[in-house]
Chain A
Amino acid sequence: MADPLRYRTDAAHEEPAVTLDAFLGQTNATAVRLESDEDARALIPHLDRLALIEVSFPGFRDGRGYSAGRILREAGYTGELRAQGDVLVDQIALMRRCGFDSLVPDKPLDAAAVARALSRYDAVYQKAADGRPPIWALRHG
């Protein structure tokens, strides 16, 4: 697997991610992989022992992972949240907004295009999981 694009300062997590079933059946795993049809909320009781959650995006049209990301961040998860799969340059800004801080695209992305995509929009209309203030908050400072 290619090195993830990481937007965190801590060291990359080395332990391989186990399936949700395997994770829920054992007590010592610290990394888990969530398929797009699995319920992120099943992880909520265990967030404090997780260092990596990898969320699968099997096709770019499958947007369930965006909800999974936000749900995990809203529940207070602070570990690495990785989007893996059909991650395209046109989706990464949305993923970052939903709380993903590491990306593992199936096909490598052009670094310059990534930088442009992530810095393109100065302001956003909604509050999400990235801490950016929505435009309504800027308007009413």
Chain B
Amino acid sequence: MYKYDSYDQTIVDTRVEEFREQVERRLSGELSEDQFKPLRLMNGLYLQLHAYMLRVAIPYGTLDARQMRMLAHVARTYDKGYGHFTTRQNIQFNWIELKDTPDILAELATVEMHAIQTSGNCIRNISSDQFAGAAADEVTDPRPWAELLRQWSTFHPEFSYLPRKFKICVIAADEDRAAMRLHDIGIQLTRNEAGDVGAAVYVGGGMGRTPMIAPLIKDFVPIDDLLSYVEACLRVYNRYGRRDNIYKARIKILIHEIGADSYRQQVEDEWAHVKTLGLDPPRAEFERIAGFFAPPAYDSAAPDTIDRSDPDFALWVDQNVKPHKQPGYAIATISLKPVGGIPGDATAAQIDLMADLAERYSFDELRVTHAQNIVLPYVRKADLHALWQALDGAGLATANLDLISDIIACPGLDYCSLANARSIPLAQKIANRFASMERQRDLGELKLKISGCINACGHHHAGHIGILGVDKRGAENYQLLLGGSGAEDASLGNITGPGFDEDGIVDAIERTVETYRAVRTDGERFLDTYRRVGIAPFKEAIYG
């Protein structure tokens, strides 16, 4: 894992002091809320329905036990004893007091964490593949590049007042576990025929009210030029992105309006110039960073088999454990979606326990996934059973990864001032309806995603089944979408028809999955059945 040097630490410490002064000016009345708002937003502090919410960055979703314990400490000391892991691989604390925020940030800084650029119209936390460094299918570890981008984007002087927020994702495998093409810039590291690493760059994806899948803008950027290429992409956006209408200000709209070819040409022209400015760090800097992500000290004698004699354990292994690049090791996903729970929430005690388990079984490393789960990336197969037992004792062993109850849900009307409808109680209702694990396994991979309004924080456009909360003459109403995907086969869901009330939407989902069961071929996923037969049979079953 990356470790700060004195430069990195000084920047984060300085930021804490700057924010402390800003909060003091607000508390003394020197700053009005209007004047304070853009300042707090630059530091991840939102005003929600009932309290302040603080969003803490977890760069590319990677953290160690010490950092995880600090999150537990913040949850316990300054919040109501829990935290909420988000679809952007961050964590949010929902019950924060303004006067405490400088102290919270100071405590976070002691473990190399911050809330810099977790909101505002700037380059946000860089996201990545939660299996980076461990996945059997990766070309290289994407995280050194993500860290390079993190540093480059921190307080970027030209790109701190963009037309709108800007999200960058870096992956390095063909299987896309990070919804890369739904980012403003999605980078997939690849190798060319000569074996050199480079980047395929997709620009202009995003969700929100106008969802778009990013088109490929350049198929191979030599890796040493990556920062200057991204700089050129951003400069064209900063100059020409729309600023007249906040709903049309994302880069996806610019590219949609001028066309990918025209955008590509403008970036090429800009890059030809930018490349001459010496903005790209030398190889030595990349190597310094990459050194922190060297493989852990694997036990080369670790047995490569798993004792599956405990049937409950075997079910968990089948669902939540994935292949590792190192023989004898596996990647374990800890589900934060117990049936009836709040998707992505974890208590301080659970966060502490996951930290302990990471130390004991995963070379002191954890990952946050965009599906709001936690990953232990380096577990010896021989340790999986002991790990599972420890998780089970804390309600953390739900074997539902990528099943219908592994729901992504935004905070919705329980917290969010923009919401039309509640997301969390609906997620709980759906999980309860499908509580039978046998039934869930029979339905197979089924990604269900819920947003409480058109802003799409819950990725509903990218759900195999998506749910969107709308306001229908003052009442909460839910629209159903089918056929979305945030993976390598990215697609946007289609709305089935008129919306439903809270019970109606659960019934509609039930009819949808029963239709799937009736028409699927052997081993066919829900998404593939939908793509084969189209929306008609589902509509018929739901409304017919």
Interchain CB contact under 8 A, A125 and B161: no
Q: Of residues 367 to 414 in B, which have CB atoms within 8 Å of A's CB atoms?
A: none
A123 and B10 in contact, given A61-B121, A61-B161, A98-B157 (Cβ under 8 angstroms):
yes
Asked whether A94 and B160 contact (CB < 8 A) given A66-B238, A139-B7, A140-B284, the answer is: yes
Query: A60, A62, A127 — which one has the most chain B CB atoms within 10 A of its CB?
Result: A127
Contact of B161 among A60, A70, A122, A128 (CB under 8 A): A60
Q: Which residues of B contact A (CB under 8 A)?
A: 5, 7, 10-11, 14, 18, 38-39, 121, 151-152, 154-163, 235, 238-239, 243, 273, 277-279, 281-282, 284-285, 288
Closest Cβ of chain A to B122, distance in Å, is 9
Contacts of B285 in A (CB 8 A): 136, 139-140
Minimum C-beta distance from B146 to chain A (A): 14
A98, B159: Cα distance in complex, Å: 10
Q: Is A33 an interface residue (CB 8 A)?
A: no
Interchain CB contact under 8 A, A63 and B14: no
**A120 touching B18, Cβ below 8 Å:** yes
Q: Does A22 contact B (CB under 8 A)?
A: no
**Which residues of A58-83 have CB atoms within 8 Å of chain B's CB atoms?**
60-64, 66-67, 70, 74
Docked pose: A110 CA to B151 CA in angstroms: 30
A127 and B161 in contact (CB under 8 A), knowing A67-B235, A121-B14, A139-B5? no
Chain B residues lying within 8 Å of A90, measured Cβ to Cβ, are 38-39
Interchain CB contact under 8 A, B7 and A126: no
Chain A interface: which size bin? 20 to 34
**What residues of B have a CB within 8 angstroms of the CB of A121 in the complex?**
11, 14, 155
Residues from chain A with a CB closer than 8 A to the CB of B279 are: 126-127
Partner among B10, B18, B157, B277 whose Cβ is within 8 Å of the Cβ of A94: B157
Contacts A60-B161, A139-B288; A125 near B152 (Cβ below 8 A): yes
CA–CA, A41 and B238, complex, Å:
15
A16 vs B282: C-alpha distance when bound (angstroms): 44
- State in angstroms the CA–CA spacing of A135 and B9 once bound together: 12
Which 5 A-B pairs give the minimum distances between C-beta atoms? A63-B161, A97-B157, A136-B281, A94-B157, A136-B285
In the complex the two chains form, is A74's CB within 8 Å of B155's CB? no
A39: chain B residues within 8 A (beta carbon): 239
Proximity bits, A114-140, B CB within 8 Å = 1, else 0: 000000111111111000001111111
* 27 chain-A/chain-B pairs, Cβ below 8 angstroms: A61-B121, A62-B243, A63-B159, A63-B160, A63-B163, A66-B159, A66-B160, A67-B158, A67-B239, A70-B158, A74-B273, A90-B39, A91-B161, A94-B155, A94-B161, A95-B157, A121-B14, A125-B151, A125-B152, A125-B156, A126-B279, A127-B278, A134-B281, A136-B285, A137-B281, A139-B288, A140-B284
Contacts of A94 in B (CB 8 A): 155, 157-158, 160-161
A64 interface neighbour in B39, B152, B238, Cβ under 8 Å: B238
Q: Given contacts A63-B161, A138-B7, are A126 and B152 in contact (CB under 8 A)?
A: yes
Q: Are B7 and A140 touching (Cβ within 8 A)?
A: no
Q: Which residues of A contact B151 (CB under 8 A)?
A: 125, 135-136
Q: Is the CB–CB distance between B7 and A98 below 8 Å?
A: no
Interface-central residue, A67, A74, A124, A137, by most chain B CB under 10 Å: A67
Q: Is A128 within 8 A of B158, CB to CB?
A: yes
Evaluate contact between A123 and B11: CB separation under 8 angstroms.
yes
| 19 additional contacts (CB under 8 A) given A97-B157, A125-B152, A125-B156 | A61-B243, A62-B161, A62-B243, A63-B160, A67-B239, A70-B158, A74-B273, A90-B39, A121-B155, A122-B10, A123-B11, A125-B154, A126-B156, A127-B278, A136-B282, A136-B285, A138-B7, A139-B288, A140-B284
Q: Compute how far the CA of A134 lies from the CA of B278 in the bound complex, rounded to whole angstroms.
A: 11
Contact partners of A66 in chain B: CB under 8 A:
157-161, 238
Counting chain A CB atoms within 10 Å of each CB, the highest count among B38, B121, B157, B243 belongs to: B157
